[in-house]
Amino acid sequence: MNPRKVVVLGYGMAGARLAEEIRHRDPEGERVALTVIGEETHHAYNRVLLSAVVAGTMRPETVLLHEEDWAERHGVTLLRGVAATRIDRTTRTVALSDGSTVDYDALVLATGSKPWLPPIEGLITEDGYPADGVVAFRGLDDCERILAHAKIGAPVAVVGGGLLGLEAARGLAGRGNLVTVVHPVGHLMERQLDPAAGRVLARSLSRLGIDFRLGASAARYLPGDGLKLDDGTHVQADLVVVSAGVRAQTSLAADAGIAVDRGVLVDDALRTSDGRVHAIGDCAQHPGTVSGLVQPAWEQAGVLADLLTGTNTAARYRGTPVVTRLKARDIDLAAFGDALVETDDEHTEVVSLHDPARGRYAKLVVRDDKVAGAILLGSPDAAATITQLYDRGVPVPEDRLALLLGRALPTAAAVAASPADLPASAVVCRCNTVTKGRLVEAFRAGATSVPELASVTRATTGCGGCRDAVCGIADWLASTS
């Protein structure tokens, strides 16, 4: 039997995970002859951890997802440093930037997204690239450029007060730079946080040495000097880091006549308007999720691997209820669901706790006696419990305020305070959808340390936010074995 030729365009977090999932289901390559094409020259890496590379707490090589010989060991044809330039759906071939072509039976677009550079005078050169002294923070090479230009103690401006911009700002401040964040909206992370939460977050980050210019936009870039803002003020900076949003990479699909909107449109089987072409990750637009986070991409990779290998032809992707976490040292923030609701109605309760002096803000939205959304800043105990309630869709305890304070334990049907009481179905690692039961199973099979559990289950290998929980479960299992 000749294996199907599957070509994956993109060797980022989505494309790399899809390749792993396919080989997990088809280790000998009997069903799928797999080719992966990546525009970057290095191996796939964990983009979620780039702020730690900027901060100097992780080395670039430690965020790589694959070892040098990974492709050879798993029978994958991996082409790095080459880009796809054209898809011919009639001949089912892809033209590459080195002049070669590859043919496919099934094609997967995992091309991700590219940073958006705002229209600031002087920020972009005539050929469309960032000017000297400007870095668009998106990839591993960008980290190297930032570290090369941002000498310790030097002033740095970060354009964008969203998730990635704040992570970059915290990383730079942590390594000793004088950081100013310029954000055109009146509060930070406006897509995930309400104004009150955004103000508390800004206050907490200010204590860590980060300055803010909120409600102001950069009007002009002054090389070697910094930014002139639209209010006439000036932000001194030796380096400008831009993190003002991203745009899905859809040009290949659009040029090939495949339907696109904000991203490449896909159905529950992750098919595009051409049934032989699929899309996953940041470049894909599915009605059940948002792009830009790792958990949906990795769940999509698992579903698509089932379909491409024929392991489970009934597999479908129904969407992902994502939890946004700010991965910044000394800041504990989680936001999810319908958290931007401001007023109660007959079907919705909104309970909030505002304690800016201590860097705490907690907001709980309850609908039909279940968690509909939450913002939890500086409240790790409450965040752990409420996230589990949200994941499992179980009733919220009557004392809502005690829950926000981290003092109320839910009913036995929900989450408990210790690993012993946590139900086996509780999701510990959201990025990889790893439950407590899966960790227990792996431990009893011989994975008795956190690194071994990570290798077997992938827990802790996404954003890293579940590491403490995994360590706690491992310690509990060790004490009871």
Cβ burial, residue 355 (10 Å; 0-12/13-18/19+)? middle
Of 133, 183, 176, 139, give the one whose Cα is nearest residue 158.
183
Q: Could you identify the residue written with the tokens 């009893």?
A: 444
Q: Any idea which residue has 């792996």 for tokens?
A: 442
At 75, phi and psi to the nearest 5?
65, 40
Kindly state the helix (H) or strand (E) to which residue 362 belongs, with its residue range: strand 360-367
pLDDT at 214 over 70: yes
138 — phi, psi (to 5°)? -145, -40
Q: Where are the domains of the chain?
A: 4-112+247-309, 134-244, 332-409, 427-481
392 with 425: CB under 8 angstroms?
yes
Pairing of strands 370-377, 333-337: antiparallel
- The CA distance from 433 to 300, in Å, is 12
If one compares 430 and 156, the residue with the highest pLDDT of the two is 156
Residue with tokens 């400007």: 134
Average pLDDT over residues 461-477: 80
Q: Do 46 and 461 contact (CB within 8 A), yes or no?
A: yes
Closest alpha carbon to 325 in 167, 159, 196, 453: 167
Query: CA 339 to CA 364: how far, in whole Å?
Result: 7
Q: Do domains 4-112+247-309 and 427-481 have the same CATH topology?
A: no
Domain at 332-409: CATH code: 3.30.390.30
Tell me the CATH number for domain 134-244. Answer: 3.50.50.60
The answer, yes or no, to whether residue 408 has pLDDT greater than 70, is no
Query: Which residues, at least 6 apart from 398, have a Cβ–Cβ distance to it below 8 Å?
Result: none
- Average pLDDT over all residues of the chain: 91
On the question of pLDDT at 313 being above 50, the answer is: yes
Q: What is the average per-residue pLDDT within 229-242?
A: 96
pLDDT tens across 273-289, in order? 999 999 999 999 999 78
DSSP assignment of 51-117, as one string? HHHHHTSS-GGGGBSS-TTHHHHTTEEEEES--EEEEETTTTEEEETTS-EEE-SEEEE---EEEPP
Residue 473 carries which DSSP code? H
- CATH number for the segment(s) 427-481: 1.10.10.1100
The tokens of 242 are what?
């831009």
Answer whether 308's CB lies under 8 Å from 41's CB.
no
pLDDT tens for 136-150 read 998 999 999 999 988
Task: Spell out the residues 6+ positions from residue 295 whose beta carbon is closer than 8 angstroms to its own.
Answer: 320, 322, 323, 430, 431, 432, 433, 462
More confident residue, 476 or 292: 476
CA pair distance 135, 168, nearest whole angstrom = 11
d(Cα 26, Cα 21) in Å, to the nearest integer?
Answer: 9
Residues in the chain: 481
pLDDT in the model for residue 409: 52
Give residue 231's pLDDT.
93
Contacts of 99 (CB under 8 A, 6+ apart): none
d(CA 74, CA 2): 18
Planar angle of CA 153, 154, 160, nearest 5 degrees: 115
User: 155-211 pLDDT, tens per residue?
Assistant: 999 999 999 999 999 999 999 999 999 999 999 999 999 999 999 999 999 999 999
Q: How far is CA 181 from the centre of its chain?
A: 21
- Residue 113, pLDDT > 80, answer yes
Structure tokens at 7: 């070509």
Give the three-state DSSP class for 178. Answer: strand
Q: Is the pLDDT of residue 115 over 80?
A: yes
* Residue 410's pLDDT band (cuts 50, 70, 90): very low
pTM (two decimals): 0.87
Cβ(118)–Cβ(242) under 8 Å?
yes
Buried b or exposed e, range 237-256, using 16+ CB within 10 angstroms = bbbbbbbbbbebbbebbeeb
CATH class of 4-112+247-309: alpha beta
User: 180-206 as b/e, with b when 16 or more CB fall inside 10 Å?
Assistant: bbbbbbebbbbebbbebbbbbbbebbe
The per-residue pLDDT for range 357-381, each reduced to its tens digit, is 999 999 999 999 999 999 999 998 8
